[in-house]
Amino acid sequence: MDDVAIVNDVPVKPKHPGGRKDKLTPETSEKIVRLIRAGNYESVACKAAGIIWETYSIWMARGKAEGKGKFYEFAELIDKAKSESEAILVAKIQQDDSWQSKAWMLERKFHERWGRKDRIEHSGVVGLAALTPEERQAKIKELEERNKEIE
């Protein structure tokens, strides 16, 4: 009966003894880390572990801000899992016998030298000024006149 408080001479049991249940459990942490290490997106790992993205983002921000404690340790494990995932995928690509996997790797890692050059760069000012009602009517009239000339 230690968790029962007396309020106005009435025993009251708290709704959440000791506060809300902590969602960052070792099991949840391990599942998210394992899924990210396997190559999943963070959002997918969170959903699979039953955690919403906002909660995960708070944990990561808190871990980076605090610099110690369980949220910090969690953030460190996540960063390590991302690096391990990348290293595993790079090793698999390098082990692949096809030249395409090597070309893909070169294109992404050394984009300036090996990336595709067929991209088009658009520069300059693009004017998207809207016509006033008077200008619009004048333009319509001009187009109608041109149309009459063609017919």
Q: Read off the tokens for 28.
A: 């949840």
Spell out the per-residue pLDDT of the chain, length 151, in tens.
Answer: 456 656 566 665 655 566 778 899 999 999 999 999 999 999 999 999 999 999 999 999 999 999 999 999 999 999 999 999 989 988 888 898 998 988 888 888 788 888 887 767 777 765 556 778 888 888 888 888 888 887 7
Cβ of 36: how many Cβ atoms within 10 Å?
A: 22
> Which residues, in sequence order, are CB contacts of 70 under 8 Å at separation 6+?
24
Structure confidence at residue 1 (pLDDT): 47
- Asked whether the whole model's pTM tops 0.85, one would answer no
* Residue 86 and residue 80 in contact, taking contact as beta carbons nearer than 8 Å: no
- DSSP-derived secondary structure letter, 117: -
Query: Burial of 145 by CB count in 10 Å (0-12 exposed, 13-18 middle, 19+ buried)?
Result: exposed
